[in-house]
Amino acid sequence: MFHLIVMGAEWTPHSDSFEHGRVLEHTTPAVKRIYAPMGNLDSSLSAKIPAVFMRESSSRDARVAHIGRITDLRLEGRLYHFDYTVDSSIPAIPNAILEEAASELGISKFEFQRTHWAIKDRDLFKVLLKIETARRPKPTVFQLPCDVDEDLVSVMMPFDAAFKPIYTALKAAAADVGMRCERADDIWDADAVIDDVASLIGRARVVISDLSRRNPNVFYETGIAHAIGRDVILIAQNAEDVPFDVKHIRYQQYLPNAQGRAALRSAIAKRLAKLTSRTLSPTSPAVKRRTK
């Protein structure tokens, strides 16, 4: 469910008013019974669903809509007075983009040119995510999956036997927060290695990149992870392994010995717990170290 509030005039910041007679136009009877059981909007229910704030538009203008919430609503005479907030974390959406998705949002073309307040029985954020995914640039040399596995940590590191103990420590760190690790040599789903790597990055909730030895493949894979918005944890054995372009990003330095791997496991487990809002296992070295 979401409010669709279309104004003919400029919006007044933070609060505005709306004519009672145009509220719940283009709203199904079933939705009206829920949100206006006595004929007037229920203020508490109205505050629980998101709202699209927009101005009347045509295909020729460049107006944008904003997403937010109704924070207060009261009826005085023939006017609804309401306070609202705009979610600054969601970019403004061109009206033209919403018009393209009108059928999925349950909005008729006429509504974009009509001052009214409707409530639509649609999942607003699901449709917006679909719009954003469709507009996102698509790679031409590999395919990225659409679904993220919330339990998956992908590890990007050189294909060298010397890194096997490091990978073992990272797998233990992931297990400490109820997650699992994979790296490209664990899978063989595609004919081309890059397709498996891209799939692994795309499906992962978190990507760990070991920059040790300045491996060009790892840098390429780290760039993919950053570009598609994954949480990336950088690790390296030496500060010199971290190039200038990413030195401003915090990284975890470690020693490739038993003590260093144990410290790495503890640090990564704590970082994964923070990034994913998970709880560390009571048996995790990070917990034992913290409680000493």
What's the average pLDDT block by block, 10 residues per block, for the chain (292 residues)?
Answer: 94 94 95 94 94 85 90 94 92 89 92 96 88 71 82 94 96 97 73 80 95 95 91 96 91 97 97 93 77 52
What pLDDT, on a 0 to 100 scale, did the predictor assign at position 134?
65
What pLDDT, on a 0 to 100 scale, did the predictor assign at position 100?
87
What pLDDT, on a 0 to 100 scale, did the predictor assign at position 108?
93
> In CATH, what number does 2-135 get?
3.10.590
Neighbours of 145 (CB within 10 A): 13
**CB 136 within 8 Å of CB 44:** no
Q: Locate the domains of the chain by residue range.
A: 2-135, 149-286
> In CATH, what number does 149-286 get?
3.40.50.2300
What pLDDT, on a 0 to 100 scale, did the predictor assign at position 189?
54
What pLDDT, on a 0 to 100 scale, did the predictor assign at position 133?
67
How many DSSP H helices and E strands does the chain contain?
A: 10, 12
Same fold, 2-135 and 149-286: no
pLDDT, tens digit, for every residue of 222-232?
999 998 889 99
How far is it, in rounded angstroms, from Cα 174 to Cα 218?
20
What pLDDT, on a 0 to 100 scale, did the predictor assign at position 191?
53
What pLDDT, on a 0 to 100 scale, did the predictor assign at position 192?
64
Neighbours of 203 (CB within 10 A): 17
What pLDDT, on a 0 to 100 scale, did the predictor assign at position 223?
93
**CB 171 within 8 Å of CB 183:** no
- CA-nearest of 159, 164, 84 to 117 is 84
Residues 6 or more apart whose CB falls under 8 angstroms from that of 67 comprise 50, 51, 52, 53, 86, 87, 90, 93, 124, 128
Cα separations in angstroms, 197 against 93, 141, 150, 167, 220: 33, 12, 17, 16, 11
Strand-strand pairing, 79-86 and 50-55 = unpaired
Exposed / middle / buried, residue 169 (Cβ in 10 Å: 0-12, 13-18, 19+) = buried
Strand-strand pairing, 15-19 and 50-55 = unpaired
**Could you tell me if residue 77 is left (phi over 0), alpha (psi between -120 and 50 degrees) or otherwise beta?**
left
**CB 2 within 8 Å of CB 52:** yes
| DSSP H or E run through 73 | strand 64-76
What pLDDT, on a 0 to 100 scale, did the predictor assign at position 188?
58
